């Protein structure tokens, strides 16, 4: 079984959206029993909270319900997960520093948009938290493209 973790700052916008989209795609492709996903934040600001209402509204319009409760990334995640995908470079630095301190190198740490065929030089998924619903729609599209290609990558490499 493959374990995938999506990580952003607070785990209420980008990473739970990425988790929900990815899980939806695994069901569509019939691989949900062999590839599972979770999400976390590098901070614990929102621990125990549901995703941002705008994130939930955006995904529901695409038939995806978000039920994840926010949690903070911890050292055990580097043992449990095969892949950890960061939403941006600032969080990538934190993830890599934590991985080094954990002493566990099992997880491959990657940028989410490294799988986005429309990504330019900026590999960050922008944080829509301080904007309007349009920012969440834009992030949804980025995450859908990225997750489709990431799932293809996993299927080619591991299945």
DSSP states of 102-142 as a string?
A: HT---SEEEEGGGG-TT--S--PPP--TTS-HHHHHHHHHH
CB-based contacts of 38, cutoff 8 Å, min separation 6: 3, 4, 5, 6, 19, 68, 81
CB-based contacts of 54, cutoff 8 Å, min separation 6: 13, 128, 132, 133, 136
* Active-site annotation holds for 127: yes
Question: 118 and 93 in contact (C-beta within 8 Å)?
Answer: no
Q: Of the listed 13, 14, 38, 113, which one is catalytic?
A: 14
Q: Of the listed 52, 77, 116, 127, which one is catalytic?
A: 127
Question: 15 and 40 in contact (C-beta within 8 Å)?
Answer: yes
In angstroms, the CA 4 to CA 56 distance is 21
* Active-site annotation holds for 14: yes
Q: Which residues are part of the catalytic machinery?
A: 8, 14, 127
């Amino acid at each position: 079984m493959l374990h995938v973790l999506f990580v952003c700052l607070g785990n209420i916008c980008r990473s739970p959206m990425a988790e929900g989209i990815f899980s939806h795609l695994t069901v569509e492709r019939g691989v949900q029993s062999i590839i599972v996903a979770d999400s976390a934040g590098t901070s614990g600001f929102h621990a125990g909270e549901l995703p941002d209402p705008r994130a939930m509204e955006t995904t529901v319009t695409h038939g995806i319900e978000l039920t994840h409760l926010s949690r903070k990334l911890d050292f055990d995640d580097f043992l449990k997960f095969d892949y950890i995908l960061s939403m941006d470079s600032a969080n990538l630095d934190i993830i890599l520093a934590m991985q080094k301190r954990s002493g566990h190198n099992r997880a491959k740490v990657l940028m989410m948009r490294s799988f986005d065929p429309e990504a330019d030089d900026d590999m960050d998924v922008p944080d829509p938290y301080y904007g309007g619903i349009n920012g969440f729609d834009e992030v949804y599209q980025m995450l859908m493209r990225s997750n489709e290609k990431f799932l293809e990558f996993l299927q080619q490499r591991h299945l």
